[in-house]
Amino acid sequence: MKTSYNYDAQLGGDTDDMELCHRYGIDTSLAYTPQINEAIRLAVKSENVTDLLTGGYSDGQARSIADKHYQDAKSKAPN
């Protein structure tokens, strides 16, 4: 059995790294490595930009908002 490094697993949850790779389109070579968390944050940031653009925000606004959320998530991440 491989060790999942995603934050849910680190906090006692049962989410498997490979599940998140498939969900977010992340390279599966990052599964079961600590690097998966940064890849997830970047994937979510990209999704947020797309969603904000679809919602009518300008490119600059969308990127600014998504970056703020990314920075917040990064600063609150468990070690």
Can you list the alpha helix ranges (DSSP code H) found in 25-79? 36-54, 59-76
Whether the per-residue pLDDT at 18 is higher than 90: the answer is yes
Q: How many domains does the chain have?
A: 1
What percentage of the chain has pLDDT greater than the value 90? 94
Please report whether residue 2 resides in a domain. no
Residue range of the domain that includes 14: 7-76
In a domain, 33, yes or no: yes
Asked if residue 40 lies in contact with residue 26, where contact means CB atoms within 8 angstroms, the answer is yes
- Please list, in sequence order, all residues whose beta carbon lies within 8 angstroms of the beta carbon of residue 5, skipping any fewer than 6 positions away: 17, 32, 33, 34, 36, 37
1 inside domain: no
pLDDT, one tens digit per residue, over 30-60 is: 999 999 999 999 999 999 999 999 999 999 9
Q: Is the pTM of this model over 0.95?
A: no
44 domain residue, yes or no? yes
Rg of the Cα trace of the chain? 14
